[in-house]
Amino acid sequence: MLKFLLICTLAVASRAEIAEEEDVLVLKKSNFDEALKAHPNILVEFYAPWCGHCKALAPEYAKAAGMLKAEGSDIRLAKVDATEETELAQEYGVRGYPTIKFFKGGEKESPKEYSAGRQADDIVSWLKKRTGPAVATLAGVTEAESLIADNEVAVIGFFKDAESAGAKAYEKAAEAIDDIPFAMTSDDAVYSKFEVSKDSVVLFKKFDEGRNTFDGELTKEKLLAFVKANQLPLVIEFTEQTAPKIFGGDIKSHILMFLPKAASDFQDKMDQFKKAAEGFKGRILFIFIDSDVDDNQRILEFFGLKKEECPAIRLITLEDEMTKYKPDSDSITAESITEFCTLFTEGKLKPHLMSQDIPEDWDKNPVRVLVGKNFEEVAFDPTKNVFVEFYAPWCGHCKQLAPIWEKLGEKYKDSADTIVAKMDSTANEIEAVKVHSFPTLKFFPAGEERKVIDYNGERTLEGFTKFLESGGKEGGAPAGDDDDDLDAELREKTQNLKSVVD
């Protein structure tokens, strides 16, 4: 008996080692397995103390933990300092912050990546969908009203027969969406309360028109399209919390209005922007960005804009290759925006490529300075071998490379056929090269073939020299095979705006 009591005491003591901060469990390698055993459903955030995104998430994460705890839920939220618990971070493939994974049923081998928004309600909703039935059953009006009141977006299926083909299709659609609660009712009082006269699906939301009723054949695919087209506001503001919804959605064509909230005509321009958005629902996402917010300055920079140039409109496609478009007119009216978007959907717009003016001394230093306006004639000069660093002024890796790149330029400054150059890719764009990470190093060998060779060797003076002396063979790779290791800051940008949002 004494031995049994000792074992129990040790077990309790072991659990007691799992500290909590604002209802969030603090996990380490030493208590990680114990936490998974003690809590069958646990969401774990791998964070870095210095990460701005982690700091912004912290209050919402704690709020979600408190909400679930107050409900008596068995779902718990936890966090791991990935900069201290490096073994855990490596084990779960943490390469950016925050990384959030859901461990279900004590299973540690294959956690589910968290895929919803970063507000408390989003987190709680996602977790409940992951642990409960995809569709909740509403017994009466009070339950339906509570569901709608407690969620930014909620979907209710009105079906008299839960076994009908339409109801089954509805359940299949619900299973495919993690971040929105779905419910079903057959209660006459609920039908009456929400003025539904026949079997139907209604999306309730706390913005725009308030509700949308599905119209068409009840199939999983059509229901999914209906929900995705209506779950976001006509105009959504870009913030830390909305970024996952914006960039994780199916709509990859985004029109952005850069406008200071403090502007005297702010509401008028927002009304115009929203009016234009009505005609492109489900095809183009309309996004507002407060151009006065410091955290948004990198986005302005990415589009070649300065605060004093706002308000401004830009359009971007977030496919494998990002393409930007700029309207001919600076006018922000529903008519001008509608015309711009229509030309885009009809494929009649030409991409907008940024370029700085050519510096007067661009070729006076050992490392030549390239911009969009002189890139073509220099890089593809058939008599020259041109080695180019595509960089970003804020990139840590680029700053580390700078002195080595300068030495390389010095080494070849008197060469008759070799040029070492650099281009600020945050201010200059070219059709021939798409830059997705920094620094990107590419070699343009002499000749008429317009070849492009990626450099994947060591970033040392010796490595660069061997590469150039071998004609791009020593440390080279065919263009497009580069798998550069982004720094933590750039990884976070990649998650949101393909390496530009921070």
Residue 8 a catalytic site member: no
Same domain, 305 and 223: no
Residue 383 lies in a domain: yes
Residue 54 a catalytic site member: yes
Residue 51 a catalytic site member: yes
Q: End of a domain among 211, 229, 247? A: 229
Of the candidates 373, 407, 377, the residue with the CA atom closest to the CA atom of residue 389: 407
Question: Residue 255 CB: number of other CB atoms within 10 A?
Answer: 23
Question: Residue 268 CB: number of other CB atoms within 10 A?
Answer: 12
Residue 424 lies in a domain: yes
Of the candidates 244, 307, 178, 292, the residue with the CA atom closest to the CA atom of residue 501: 244
Q: End of a domain among 281, 315, 346? A: 346
Of the candidates 141, 244, 254, 129, the residue with the CA atom closest to the CA atom of residue 192: 141
Same domain, 387 and 441: yes
Q: Count structural domains, the chain.
A: 4
Same domain, 458 and 477: yes
Q: Domain containing 468 — which CATH number?
A: 3.40.30.10
Same domain, 153 and 251: no
What is the predicted pLDDT for the residue at 246? Answer: 83
Annotated catalytic residue within 8, 51, 310, 341: 51
Rounded CA separation 187/86 (Å): 53
Same domain, 224 and 241: no
Same domain, 170 and 111: no
Same domain, 30 and 124: yes
Residue 393 lies in a domain: yes
**Alpha carbon 33 to chain centroid distance?**
30
The residue segments making up the domain with residue 143 are 136-229
Q: End of a domain among 229, 263, 281? A: 229
Q: Identify the residue whose tokens are 């996602």.
A: 126
What is the predicted pLDDT for the residue at 477? Answer: 55
Rounded CA separation 13/57 (Å): 31
Same domain, 403 and 443: yes
Same domain, 332 and 376: no
Q: Cβ distance 99 to 114 under 8 Å?
A: no
Q: Identify the residue whose tokens are 């020259």.
A: 384
Of the candidates 180, 255, 185, 183, the residue with the CA atom closest to the CA atom of residue 224: 180
Kindly report each contact of residues 61-70 with a partner whose C-beta sits within 8 Å and lies 24 or more positions away, as own/partner.
61/24, 61/120, 61/123, 62/21, 62/22, 62/23, 62/24, 63/120, 64/120, 64/121, 64/123, 64/124, 64/127, 65/22, 65/23, 65/24, 66/22, 66/23, 67/120, 67/124, 68/124, 68/127, 69/23
Residue 332 lies in a domain: yes
**Alpha carbon 213 to chain centroid distance?**
29
Residue 15 lies in a domain: no
Same domain, 57 and 70: yes
Same domain, 208 and 254: no
Rounded CA separation 342/331 (Å): 16
Digitized pLDDT (tens) for each residue of the chain, 502 residues in all:
333 334 443 434 444 468 899 999 999 999 999 999 999 899 999 999 998 889 999 999 999 999 999 999 999 999 999 999 999 999 998 888 899 999 987 778 878 888 788 889 889 988 988 888 889 999 899 999 999 998 889 999 999 999 999 999 999 999 888 778 999 999 999 999 999 999 999 999 999 999 999 998 999 999 998 998 898 899 999 987 788 778 877 788 999 999 999 999 999 999 999 999 999 988 999 999 999 988 888 888 888 888 888 999 999 998 766 788 999 888 999 999 999 999 999 999 888 888 889 999 999 999 999 999 999 999 999 999 999 999 999 888 999 999 999 999 999 999 999 999 999 988 898 888 888 788 999 999 999 999 999 998 899 999 999 999 999 888 755 444 333 333 333 334 334 443 334 3
pTM: 0.61
Residue 352 lies in a domain: no
Residue 240 lies in a domain: yes
Annotated catalytic residue within 8, 310, 341, 395: 395
Question: Residue 390 CB: number of other CB atoms within 10 A?
Answer: 24
Residue 501 lies in a domain: no
Same domain, 378 and 334: no
